[in-house]
């Protein structure tokens, strides 16, 4: 039969602590005195004592009439309310019905004014007028552009650069296109079968020249203003 190895230690601990609980608890705990017994309403929260200043305060004046007040009697008016109401009804403008909208033939009714279908925005005073922030932003952009151009001109003057005129730009563009046509003509004259190293190198040279010329032509056509350094 299996016997635990901790059996002796468990027996020893049980016998050691057995005498402490013979009196329904540890013997060193003080027993409560019978004089301090639980009284009625002792655990209920107690309110603070009322101050005398609160009792001396007067109640606020009430707006309702008092019991001893009497209404004013004998006040009469000579106004003919019947005739006044009749004249107001005859001379008054008829009440206009509120415009409504309906989603379908037997659907619910909604007020047209609050439905969002009435273009109220066209009746505004500033309708069609450019907002102030847009004009202010445009002015700031123009001022920044002018400052940038002035700074560029000053920088170009310091570096001794000049701007190409339209004629020079046009002649330069024509010359680049003419060079490209000549290189392309040489490229077309190449043989169909390129089997030697010199032919391959010549073909690569023509292709690189054509790409460079195409890039230069694209740059000049894209930019209307071109600056070059003085020689």
90 contacts 100 by C-beta, under 8 angstroms: no
Would you say residue 178 lies in a domain? Answer: yes
Asked if 151 and 189 sit in the same domain, the reply is no
Asked if 184 and 141 sit in the same domain, the reply is no
* pLDDT score at 55: 54
In this prediction, what percent of the chain has a pLDDT beyond 70? 87
* pLDDT score at 46: 87
Would you say residue 129 lies in a domain? Answer: yes
pLDDT at residue 136 is higher than 90: yes
Which residue range forms the structural domain that includes residue 111? 101-160
Strands (E), the chain: 100-102, 109-111, 161-163, 227-229
**Cα–Cα–Cα angle for 82, 86, 91, nearest 5°?**
150
pLDDT at residue 21 is higher than 80: no
Asked if 141 and 189 sit in the same domain, the reply is no
CA distance 164 to 220: 11
Q: How many domains does the chain have?
A: 2
pLDDT at residue 36 is higher than 90: no
In 3D space, the residue among 216, 186, 226 whose CA is nearest the CA of residue 203 turns out to be 186
Would you say residue 121 lies in a domain? Answer: yes
Would you say residue 196 lies in a domain? Answer: yes
Asked if 194 and 220 sit in the same domain, the reply is yes
User: Would you say the pTM of this structure is higher than 0.75?
Assistant: no
């Amino acid at each position: 039969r299996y016997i635990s190895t901790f059996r002796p230690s468990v027996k020893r601990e049980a016998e050691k602590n057995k005498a402490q609980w013979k009196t329904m608890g540890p013997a060193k705990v003080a027993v409560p005195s019978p004089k301090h017994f639980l009284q009625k309403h002792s655990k209920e929260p107690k309110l603070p004592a009322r101050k005398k200043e609160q009792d001396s305060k007067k109640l606020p004046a009430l707006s309702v009439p008092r019991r001893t007040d009497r209404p004013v009697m004998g006040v009469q008016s000579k106004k003919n309310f019947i005739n006044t109401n009749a004249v107001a009804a005859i001379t008054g403008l008829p009440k206009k019905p509120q415009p409504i909208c309906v989603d379908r033939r037997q659907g619910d009714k909604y007020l047209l004014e609050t439905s969002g279908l009435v273009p109220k925005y066209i009746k505004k005073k500033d309708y069609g007028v450019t907002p102030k922030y847009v004009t202010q932003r445009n002015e700031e952009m123009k001022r920044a552009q002018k400052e940038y151009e002035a700074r560029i001109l000053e920088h170009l003057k310091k570096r001794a650069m000049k701007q190409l005129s339209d004629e020079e730009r046009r002649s330069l563009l024509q010359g680049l296109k003419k060079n490209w046509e000549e290189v392309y003509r040489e490229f077309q004259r190449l043989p169909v079968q390129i089997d030697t190293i010199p032919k391959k190198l010549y073909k690569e040279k023509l292709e690189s020249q054509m790409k460079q010329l195409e890039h230069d032509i694209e740059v000049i056509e894209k930019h209307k203003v071109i600056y070059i350094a003085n020689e």
